[in-house]
Amino acid sequence: MASTSGRTRIEPWPWILGALLLSMVTGSLAFYRVARTNPDPLVVDDAYAAGLHYSERVRAERRAEALGWQIGLRATTEPGAANLTVELHDASGAPLEVTRASVLRERPAEGGLDAEFALQPAGAPGRLEARVPLPRPGRWRLVARIERDGRTVERAFALEAP
């Protein structure tokens, strides 16, 4: 728009609107990055039963610490499955023989995919193996459950599947 002095006046509104749009896009991308890098919350069908099970799991982990049992897990993942090796040792480092052993597969972000698989002896004492199918890529939680002499201990492990 021309002024009476012969100079053209530059309006600031297009620049202000452009800056507002740019800040909204930047804010949206920042929120997307935060959501993408943080783990998913747990989804369960029955929160009360899950709370009771969680309490039992904590007691089992404390029992393992008190007994000096060490549960180690190695996992090699491939599309659709994970090959697990669980090693069990007592407080002195000697391998432990177990009565029953299993691994529970849990999907933290989705219900209906939890399952339990038996761990099989793998030749060496205190070493167990299992192949656990992982139907979807993403975050999984594996809980090794070991029974020996009437005592049950558990240890949870996080796993990222391709």
Residue 2's pLDDT is 52
27 backbone φψ class: left, alpha, beta (φ>0; ψ -120 to 50): alpha
Q: Rounded to an integer, what is the distance from CA 156 to the centroid of its chain?
A: 10
Paired tokens of 149: 């002499």
Rounded distance between C-alpha atoms, residue 72 and residue 56, angstroms: 20
More confident residue, 110 or 74: 74
Q: State yes or no: pLDDT of 147 exceeds 90.
A: no
| Mean pLDDT calculated for residue range 34-47 | 73
Residue 76's pLDDT is 87
Burial of 84 (0-12, 13-18, 19+ CB in 10 A): buried
pTM for this predicted structure: 0.60
- DSSP for 146-160, please give it: EEETTEEEEEEEEEE
* 102 touches 119 (CB < 8 A): yes
Residue 5: band (very low, low, confident or very high) from pLDDT cuts 50, 70, 90: low
- Which amino acid is it at 19? A
User: Over the range 105-117, which residues count as b (16 or more CB within 10 Å of their CB) and which as e?
Assistant: bbbbeeeeeeeee
* 60 touches 147 (CB < 8 A): no
Domain boundaries, the chain: 8-38, 47-161
% the chain with pLDDT above 90: 16
114 backbone φψ class: left, alpha, beta (φ>0; ψ -120 to 50): beta
Which residues, at least 6 apart from 130, have a Cβ–Cβ distance to it below 8 Å?
83, 84, 86, 103, 117, 118, 119, 120
Residue 148's pLDDT is 81
Choose which CATH entry (3.90.420.10, 3.30.750.24, 3.20.20.80, 2.60.40.1930) describes domain 47-161.
Answer: 2.60.40.1930
